[in-house]
Structure 1
Amino acid sequence: MKNFKSIIFQILWLASLFFTPFHLHAQTYGQNGMVVSDNVLASEVGIDILKKGGNAIDASIATAFALAVTHPEAGNIGGGGFIVLMKSDGEVTTFDFREKAPLKATPDMFQDAAGNLIENANSNGLKAVGVPGTVAGLYLAHQKYGKLPWPDLVQPAVDLAQKGFPMTWGLYKAALNMEDWDDSYDIMTNYFRNEAGEIIKPGELWTQPALAKTLSLIRDKGQDGFYKGEVAEEIEAYMKAKGGIITKEDLARYTAIERKPVKGTYKGYEIYSMPPPSSGGVALIEMMNLMEQADLQKIEFNSTAYVHLVAEAMRRAFADRAEHLGDPDFNPEMPLDKLTSKEFAKKRFENIDLKKASVSDSSKFGQLYDGSSTTHFSVVDKEGNAVSMTYTLEHSYGVGMGSAKLGFIFNNEMGDFNPVPGVTNSDGQIGSKPNLIAPEKRMLSSMTPTIVAKDGKPHLIIGSPGGRTIINTVFQTVLNVLEYNMRIDKAIEAMKIHHQWLPDGLVYEKHLMSPDTRDALTKMGHRLFPYNNLGVLMGITYDPKLKVYVGAADSSSEDGAAVGY
């Protein structure tokens, strides 16, 4: 009987793929709402919530919890992130649920006796784990702007974990890559395996009973189901047993924060994005201001001159990011108004040589490192409420550790702090004060959830994973839509580059840049580094002529989908 039910479930799931109105990796349309995420099942969960009368915040919460089940590489309850919300009346707000350093954290906790950074110390092991913020952030957003009951939003994720869903090829490939992981990655040892110890094959049901129990507690008790009671007790016990420093007190003290967005403009559009401790919004607006200074009518898209100009804008924004930005609760004097002003961009633009690459000087300012295990999704409802949400575990599958009793993976976000005070070098290690480790401080992030508006209504909802590349992939996609009027799928798929000031190199998508352009850029002084793919963007635009939302998921997402209705 159990096998028969499993077969029926798989048949129904496969059938739904053919009769649901969406395209996995192409542009799709929705008159009443849209969800674009890294997993088709999670996108469908969000759409179901919209159909039941929920708003964009409700759909985002349900999608986020579903991704914690279906996209464990980055979907999470063991990490943190950011939400940008534009309400139907045009008001914009944000939610900061970035992880925090534990109370026992110190500025030198990852250094050896000589004061040098211990290799990988800030990314491996449980001391690299920040106090998770996802559950608190989703709960706060619901308390402020949710419409449907909280349990209704968590239940779909409980069902997915408890009843299971067919293993995808993307998850199966990840499981095969983990076969040689040693026992120190405790939870990952059997994460994708059945009771017989075999890796679950594509199409077979994958259930997560421990995660289902944890999600049930969150469903029934709200954020207290995670930050207090048996989950918090198990987290503390697990940390003590394995060398971590997070305690029940850390969890009980954690709070998410509603913050004002950073705002910029570009040729009649309003750009709203995440303020610090995300650096993404400030850098995005600075770069858009820089591009507004250029005469783009005379610079052909993707030409050598265009790539050079974009790279130089990136170089300057990332240098300013590293010098000035950090947790605003610890850095109240950050010059955000200056960095996002048109006047500052004008001065910055004046020292761009349009025929020669600048030189990044590590003695003046720098840039830090971000991981790549992040996921983004975009949501809009029929009333015009829009959500851009990015959340993360830092590296792929975070720290690769977690209690088997709880069923989720912890982040390794402590690696986003500057690890050695005062030490900034050409390799990209940064030591500037704003982002040094301190108890209960939020580490700087590159996440860039963004909403672009036209006349007070959402025009573009966009974001991406990709760690340190997030800011630049979002920037180029926004530019593609606003300046070059590209449809959303083309804007997402167009060639992307990345320059982060330090290390001083221009990363490009190797199959999309021509050899002639590479040669010309090298002669201009750029150091080029090929990369397979930059970003995994999830975007929605609004077509005013058709009065319809248009969504697209990046083709580099194995299981991603835009779902509309």
Structure 2
Amino acid sequence: MSICRIAARPLALAVALLTASPALSQGAPPGWPAPGQPIQSAANRLLPVIGAHGMVASQEARATRIGVDILKRGGNAVDAAVAVGFALAVTLPRAGNLGGGGFMMVHRARTNETVAIDYRETAPAAATRDMFLNEKGEPDPARSRDSGLAVGVPGTVAGLAEAHRRFGSDRFTLAELIAPAIALARDGIAVEDDLADSLPTATRLKRYPSTRAVFMPTGESLTRGSLLVQRDLAWSLETIARQGPDGFYRGPLAEKLVAAVRGAGGVMTAEDLAGYKPVLRKPVTGTYRGYEIVSMPPPSSGGVHLIQILNILEGFDLAGAGAGSARQIHLLAEAMKPAYADRAQFLGDPDRVKIPVAGLLSKRYAETLRAQIDPERARPADAIRAGDPLPYESDQTTHFSVVDEDGNAVANTYTLNFSYGLGLVAEGTGILLNNEMDDFSAKAGAQNAYGLVGGDTNSVAPGARPLSSMTPTFLFKDGKLVMVTGSPGGSRIITTVLQVIVNVVDNGLSLAEAVAAPRVHHQWRPDALLTEQGLSPDTIALLTARGHKVMVGTTSGSANSIVVAPEGFLGAGDPRQRGTLAAGP
């Protein structure tokens, strides 16, 4: 069944699921009806937004509207994405950024070409393998998460500028795409939605006087309805608008960034900033039930393991198991486990270590992993080891999706790592700095802040790029783009994107239904099946009987996605986050 037809279906299926399925009818997350809530009102929120001339879906409404305005004025998808990326640095400061890094997938309709732009942060030249170990040789999380040592060389400005230089239209200069963000920073934005929710609980913002001056100007966190003015950030954006990326990586702004990092105990230098370069990479590709999956390659683990898990699942009848059923969730979890074990063993910076990408993506390897799955019983983590793929070949992040009327598309995921990153605003710049170095393995076998186990392939090294789970992804059918998706969520990013795809392709849900449906996650270690609220007690009992250690927790991700359908572009903002918006010109 084609995604385009699925996305246009009426909501009868959603209503049936909400009324009949024990897996989806109780304790649902945002976007699904609460007990006793009228079905129709909930279903209305599951209607996708339809645009005739393109679509932007992001985690923050003001940024989405900026992207839509660029499309209206003749810009292409990359123009709009660059404008959204700079705007989110102002309107969603806990994840949108200038001081972090990420990945952008660009699809060019005219040439049917897809390119991956890696603008991940890099380790400073003075970084060492053991820099995050204490005197006993054990990992010290305070060094990798809460000190200047945690700051990787930021890549966002270079990445967005490179995307515009290579793939933007001639309708807009980089300065014109930055201009809306400058106005928002200079004039101020109302504190609402996600910003109002996150500021009062962001304790790391209280650590540094330069940060408090921005987000706590009266000594207390800004509250709902107040105005957040970021004049120093406006100055930084104006500098970049005038000078291009050199304005960030060289000169007075760069000097301020270096001073802030070194003042907090870090080792980043002006030479590290001046030497930063984004990298164009070839995406990883796979197939799933007649669709082509095109996703981000290493140093992201997202694309490799998304395709690996889909390869395993392709041998099971997920549709027959039933959407949200205990059997389907069991199969999803068992397919996730070996992928995360392989992640710990094989993945790292491809410019530094050899990664068996071809083997990990092969259908033959997936068959061996599938054969080890018991359809009725969960395997404990101790029973799972990294596999033997074929030989080597010669909370906080945000995602946005953009498609223009010509079919050009962008899937972009970027991050500061933690919510508000290190929490340090570089004095005089308004720029929040990342704590991305925690994504390296402090020591083989050690877990990072998201519980992910790392190996030697992801150890700290000068200039290396830390492993990531970010998974900006395209789906194609018969050579035509049909879906743009991705999500934040730390270690849960891969499984969030996975379930959006499975919900559409296997479960027959529309895009909005697929994005809103309750999610589960298993990452091998720790040995626990994490679920959102929304699974019934009966389903949880059935999973427990199969041997799963079920933990019901918080919501997962923000999969702001787009489907290309005959009637137009269908967008879905994830209802888990306040203030998300999908809109079209």
> TM-score of the superposition, structure 1-length normalised?
0.90
Instruction: Find the aligned partners of 1:278 and 1:431 in 2 and give their Cα distance.
Output: 13
1:175 counterpart = 2:199: yes
Inter-CA distance 377–182: structure 2 relative to 1 (3 Å threshold): closer
Inter-CA distance 482–183: structure 2 relative to 1 (3 Å threshold): closer
Inter-CA distance 108–25: structure 2 relative to 1 (3 Å threshold): farther
1:409 equivalent in structure 2? 432
Q: For each residue in 1:142-189, what CA deviation from the matched residue of structure 2 results, as whole angstroms up to 9, or x when unmatched? A: 1111112111111111111011222214322323224x6585334332
For residue 238 of structure 1, report the CA deviation from its aligned partner.
Answer: 2.0
SS in 2 for 1:72: coil
Letter in 2 for 1:540: I
**Selected match of 1:153 from 170, 174, 177:** 177
For residue 317 of structure 1, report the CA deviation from its aligned partner.
Answer: 1.1
Letter in 2 for 1:386: A
**Selected match of 1:262 from 284, 295, 300:** 284
1:352 equivalent in structure 2? 373
For residue 237 of structure 1, report the CA deviation from its aligned partner.
Answer: 1.9
Inter-CA distance 431–303: structure 2 relative to 1 (3 Å threshold): closer
Instruction: Find the aligned partners of 1:182 and 1:335 in 2 and give their Cα distance.
Output: 41
Letter in 1 for 2:70: I
1:562 equivalent in structure 2? 582
**Selected match of 2:116 from 91, 94, 99:** 94
Instruction: Find the aligned partners of 2:264 and 2:226 in 1 and give their Cα distance.
Output: 33
1:237 counterpart = 2:259: yes
Stretches of structure 2 lacking an aligned partner (at least 5 in a row):
1-43, 388-394
Moved more, 519-528 or 257-266: 519-528
Letter in 1 for 2:165: Q
User: Cα RMSD over matched residues?
Assistant: 2.0
1:249 counterpart = 2:271: yes
**Selected match of 1:467 from 487, 490, 497:** 490
Letter in 2 for 1:454: K
SS in 2 for 1:481: helix
SS in 2 for 1:113: coil
Letter in 1 for 2:531: Y
**Selected match of 2:337 from 303, 307, 315:** 315
The answer as to whether partners of 1:419 and 1:430 remain within 8 angstroms in 2 is no
1:115 equivalent in structure 2? 137
**Selected match of 1:498 from 521, 526, 533:** 521
Instruction: Find the aligned partners of 1:328 and 1:125 in 2 and give their Cα distance.
Output: 27
1:81 counterpart = 2:102: yes
Inter-CA distance 304–181: structure 2 relative to 1 (3 Å threshold): closer
Moved more, 200-209 or 233-242: 200-209
For residue 431 of structure 1, report the CA deviation from its aligned partner.
Answer: 4.7
Letter in 1 for 2:418: H
Instruction: Find the aligned partners of 2:528 and 2:484 in 1 and give their Cα distance.
Output: 29
Letter in 2 for 1:103: A
For residue 295 of structure 1, report the CA deviation from its aligned partner.
Answer: 2.2
Q: For each residue in 1:375-398, what CA deviation from the matched residue of structure 2 results, as whole angstroms up to 9, or x when unmatched? A: 000000011001000000001100
1:340 counterpart = 2:361: yes
**Selected match of 1:163 from 165, 187, 192:** 187
Moved more, 374-383 or 86-95: 86-95
1:483 counterpart = 2:490: no
1:276 counterpart = 2:292: no
For these two proteins, the number of residue pairs brought into alignment is 531
Within 5 A, what are the aligned runs for 1:396-435? 396-421=419-444, 428=451, 430-435=453-458
Instruction: Find the aligned partners of 2:326 and 2:451 in 1 and give their Cα distance.
Output: 26
The answer as to whether partners of 2:338 and 2:386 remain within 8 angstroms in 1 is no
1:329 equivalent in structure 2? 351
Instruction: Find the aligned partners of 1:224 and 1:409 in 2 and give their Cα distance.
Output: 19
Instruction: Find the aligned partners of 1:24 and 1:414 in 2 and give their Cα distance.
Output: 39
The answer as to whether partners of 1:365 and 1:424 remain within 8 angstroms in 2 is no
Letter in 2 for 1:392: T
**Selected match of 2:57 from 36, 42, 47:** 36
Within 5 A, what are the aligned runs for 1:431-450? 431-450=454-473
For residue 341 of structure 1, report the CA deviation from its aligned partner.
Answer: 1.2
1:185 equivalent in structure 2? 208
1:294 equivalent in structure 2? 316
Inter-CA distance 391–525: structure 2 relative to 1 (3 Å threshold): same
Inter-CA distance 209–453: structure 2 relative to 1 (3 Å threshold): same
For residue 93 of structure 1, report the CA deviation from its aligned partner.
Answer: 0.8
Instruction: Find the aligned partners of 1:116 and 1:475 in 2 and give their Cα distance.
Output: 34
Inter-CA distance 32–431: structure 2 relative to 1 (3 Å threshold): closer
Inter-CA distance 420–36: structure 2 relative to 1 (3 Å threshold): same
Inter-CA distance 388–246: structure 2 relative to 1 (3 Å threshold): same
The answer as to whether partners of 2:338 and 2:385 remain within 8 angstroms in 1 is no
Inter-CA distance 200–495: structure 2 relative to 1 (3 Å threshold): closer
Letter in 2 for 1:341: S
The answer as to whether partners of 2:139 and 2:446 remain within 8 angstroms in 1 is no
Q: For each residue in 1:405-448, what CA deviation from the matched residue of structure 2 results, as whole angstroms up to 9, or x when unmatched? A: 000111111111111136589x9563522101100000000000
1:538 counterpart = 2:569: no
The answer as to whether partners of 1:480 and 1:486 remain within 8 angstroms in 2 is yes
Letter in 2 for 1:257: V
Inter-CA distance 376–143: structure 2 relative to 1 (3 Å threshold): same
SS in 1 for 2:165: helix
Letter in 1 for 2:189: F
**Selected match of 1:523 from 533, 545, 549:** 545
Letter in 1 for 2:273: L
SS in 1 for 2:142: coil
For residue 514 of structure 1, report the CA deviation from its aligned partner.
Answer: 1.1
For residue 197 of structure 1, report the CA deviation from its aligned partner.
Answer: 4.6
The answer as to whether partners of 2:88 and 2:97 remain within 8 angstroms in 1 is yes
1:67 counterpart = 2:88: yes
Inter-CA distance 24–374: structure 2 relative to 1 (3 Å threshold): farther
SS in 1 for 2:333: helix
SS in 2 for 1:377: strand
The answer as to whether partners of 2:55 and 2:583 remain within 8 angstroms in 1 is yes
Instruction: Find the aligned partners of 1:308 and 1:206 in 2 and give their Cα distance.
Output: 45
Moved more, 464-473 or 287-296: 287-296
For residue 330 of structure 1, report the CA deviation from its aligned partner.
Answer: 0.4
Q: For each residue in 1:51-89, what CA deviation from the matched residue of structure 2 results, as whole angstroms up to 9, or x when unmatched? A: 111110110000000000000010000000001111113
For residue 516 of structure 1, report the CA deviation from its aligned partner.
Answer: 1.2
1:11 equivalent in structure 2? none
Instruction: Find the aligned partners of 2:194 and 2:367 in 1 and give their Cα distance.
Output: 45
> TM-score of the superposition, structure 2-length normalised?
0.87
Within 5 A, what are the aligned runs for 1:444-459? 444-459=467-482
Instruction: Find the aligned partners of 1:71 and 1:430 in 2 and give their Cα distance.
Output: 29
Instruction: Find the aligned partners of 1:346 and 1:242 in 2 and give their Cα distance.
Output: 49
The answer as to whether partners of 2:399 and 2:488 remain within 8 angstroms in 1 is yes
1:376 counterpart = 2:417: no
Q: For each residue in 1:235-262, what CA deviation from the matched residue of structure 2 results, as whole angstroms up to 9, or x when unmatched? A: 1222232211111010011100011100
1:15 equivalent in structure 2? none
The answer as to whether partners of 2:101 and 2:119 remain within 8 angstroms in 1 is yes
The answer as to whether partners of 1:505 and 1:528 remain within 8 angstroms in 2 is yes
Instruction: Find the aligned partners of 1:165 and 1:223 in 2 and give their Cα distance.
Output: 25
2:6 equivalent in structure 1? none
The answer as to whether partners of 1:24 and 1:560 remain within 8 angstroms in 2 is no
Q: For each residue in 1:322-354, what CA deviation from the matched residue of structure 2 results, as whole angstroms up to 9, or x when unmatched? A: 1111110001x3111111111111111011000
